[in-house]
Amino acid sequence: MNNRKDYVIGIDFGTNSVRSVLVDARSGEEKGGSEFFYPRWKEGMYCDASENRFRQHPLDHIEGLENVIPAMLRETEPEVRNNIRAISIDTTGSTPVAVDRRGTPLALHLEFRDNPNAMFFLWKDHSAVKEAEAINRIAESFDIDFLKYVGGIYSSEWFWAKLMYVLRKDEKVKKACHSWVEHCDWIPFLLTGGKDVSEMKRSVCAAGHKALWAEDYGGYPAEEFFSALDPALGAIRRSLPARTYASDNTAGKLSPEWAGKLGLSTEVLIGVGALDAHMGAVGGQIEPYYVSKVMGTSTCDMVVVPAKDMDNILVKGICGQVQGSIIPGMLGLEAGQSAFGDIYAWFRNLLSWPLENLLSASEVIDRETSEKLVHEIRGRILLQLNKEAAGLSIDENTEIAVDWWNGRRTPDADQLLKGALQNLTLGSTAPRVYRSLAEATCFGSRRIIERFIEEGIPVKGLIGVGGVARKSPFIEQMMADVTGMPIKVHRSEQTCALGASMFAATVAGIYPKVEDAMENMGKGFEKEFFPDKEKHRMYNIRYESYGQFCSFIEQKT
């Protein structure tokens, strides 16, 4: 019997915070966890929602690492700390940054420290809509179809469009930028003490789904493709290696500098990174032909398919199909919605406006009490809305919404599209409007499922992971009723970080492949929601109205 103690760390860089989990690689038992909220992001620095600009300073991420791991390790025994074998990370994406020749983000240089164009472009930054349009136009003039593996449409959320925006917008950043790097590639490079960006191991997950990398044409599209858009873009293309790596590969060992900061050994292995939702699908124990829905601020909907089943199948209008991007040895297919939980948060913020702007000036209560009231009520708004909305009957003529609050990711990316509400009356209440918003997010999910099926990918059922999946039975039951499919909700609170820990265990050689790590370290499912046949029938009628409303909004916006 093997009595060796093996522990691994999974780190998840989310939109608002970085989270870590310490896991017993043999049993899957969590030995610790910690979370650190990005201070600059929390203050809204370098962002402007009205301009679709969302940037994050690399110091938020560095400080996150410096805080989240030591805080977690302080609560553990020496035996655990001394037997940590590997660390793997995931990040949001596409979240790229301009770096110098040494791989240092430009915002870490004094000259660029307050320049948003020198920072990470968060996944939901849509500054580059015009640049994405230019990429789609130029692609039509080439004999090779460089967009065939990303659904035929390049998005403003992705790698090259954001780079092109920076090169057009900021001459100083353009001159200083030696290469363009995804967040999930930079963090392992940082932890291993990388000093030359040419030696950075790039993730097949980010490169394939967001940067047009494909084995078919020897890596990224030819330099001529990018130079036709901008010669500077072609120069950056030359800085990118032809080879990419799946996340069961090691990026190196923890550097002496970071070993000292974190209180760990330099023998700790660092895995190649990946996008958060993809590792979340692994943490959520994805199965072939099940749509794994990572449900948070946005959604990422993923399917894994054995490579032998994908001959001559190219799924249109999704965010890519890439060999080894989710599970090495399988094709990973990604779709998703640009706004999901963000829509619910928007409505909560809308309702909270009087609280936050009027209570502080109240002559009835003191400031401290008003701040406590705001905090308490904001925390209860969505809980109460879910409860009230769940009690409403389904009526084919009530309020209906289109879920494009942050544009449309899939099917068929178009970030210029807008969200909308219809059938509002003087009788419309907050719970009824909220219900229509929740319904719209479920209808958007159904469209994605139908696109997979239409393109030859059978769907057996749904797996729900992430904050919305675990916290809102109302949304999950509606998802089952709208789609007509059962949805099982994963038990883990931190599926992305857990998935990263599974890859860390694979990198450390504790398991030969990540599927074995999933089987031994997985937490299983806590609940399954089954569709109500009568409600599904009513939702079919509502879904038809949703489709007509979508067509109207698409024509007008």
For the stretch 218-233, pLDDT in tens is 999 999 999 999 999 9
pLDDT band at 360; cut points 50, 70, 90: confident
Residue ranges of the domains in the chain? 7-282, 341-454+464-483+533-556
Confidence class for position 111, pLDDT limits 50, 70, 90: very high
Q: Which helix (H) or strand (E) segment is 465 a member of?
A: strand 461-465
CB of 546 within 8 A of CB of 402?
A: yes
- Average pLDDT of the residues in 107-130: 97
pLDDT at 557: 77
Give the separation between CA 54 and CA 373, rounded to whole angstroms: 29
Q: What is the pLDDT of residues 187-197, one digit of tens each?
A: 999 999 999 99
Question: What is the residue-wise DSSP string for 159-185?
Answer: HHHHHHHHHHH-HHHHHH--EEEEHHH
CA distance 538 to 65: 49
Mean pLDDT of the chain: 96
Residues 18-44 have a mean pLDDT of 97
Could you tell me the fold of the domain covering 341-454+464-483+533-556? Nucleotidyltransferase; domain 5 (3.30.420)
Q: pTM of the prediction?
A: 0.94
Q: At what angle do helices 430-454 and 367-390 cross, to 10 degrees?
A: 60
Spatial contact of 203 and 272, defined as CB atoms under 8 Å apart: yes
CA distance 85 to 270: 9
Q: How far apart are CA 33 and CA 322, in angstroms?
A: 31
Contacts of 173 (CB under 8 A, 6+ apart): 98, 106, 112, 115, 117, 118, 166
pLDDT, mean of residues 95-121: 98
Between CA 489 and CA 466 the distance in angstroms is 9
Whether the Cβ atoms of residue 304 and residue 286 lie closer than 8 Å to each other: yes
Q: Going edge to edge, which strands form the sheet with 525-529?
A: 321-323, 330-337, 299-306, 290-295, 461-465, 487-490, 525-529
What value does the mean pLDDT take over residues 320-349? Answer: 96
For the stretch 513-554, pLDDT in tens is 999 999 999 999 999 999 999 999 999 999 999 999 999 999
> Binning pLDDT at 50, 70 and 90, where does residue 467 land?
confident
| Predicted confidence (pLDDT) at residue 217 exceeds the cutoff of 90 | no
What the block records as the tokens of 72 is 């977690």
According to the model, what pLDDT value does residue 1 have?
A: 42
| Average pLDDT rounded to a whole number, residues 286-312 | 94
Report pLDDT digits (tens) over 374-404.
999 999 999 999 999 999 999 988 999 999 9
pLDDT digit string, tens, across residues 158-215? 999 999 999 999 999 999 999 999 999 999 999 999 999 999 999 999 999 999 999 9
User: For tokens 């940082």, what's the residue?
Assistant: 190
Nearest to 38 by CA among 26, 46, 28: 46
- Give the burial string for 370-387 (b: 16+ CB within 10 Å, else e): beeebeebeeebbeebbe
C-alpha closest to that of 334 among 385, 283, 377, 286: 286
pLDDT digits (tens, 9 = 90+) for 518-528: 999 999 999 99
Check: CATH 3.30.420.40 for 7-282?
yes
CA 364 to chain centroid: 44
End-to-end CA distance of the chain: 65
Predicted pLDDT at 363:
87
Contact predicate 515/286, CB 8 Å:
no
Asked whether residue 64 carries a pLDDT value surpassing 70, the answer given is yes
Would you state the pLDDT for residue 2? 61
User: Looking at residues 88-104, what average pLDDT do you find?
Assistant: 97
* 14 contacts: CB under 8 Å, gap ≥ 6: 92, 276, 296, 496
- pLDDT computed for residue 378 by the predictor: 95
Amino acid at 322: V
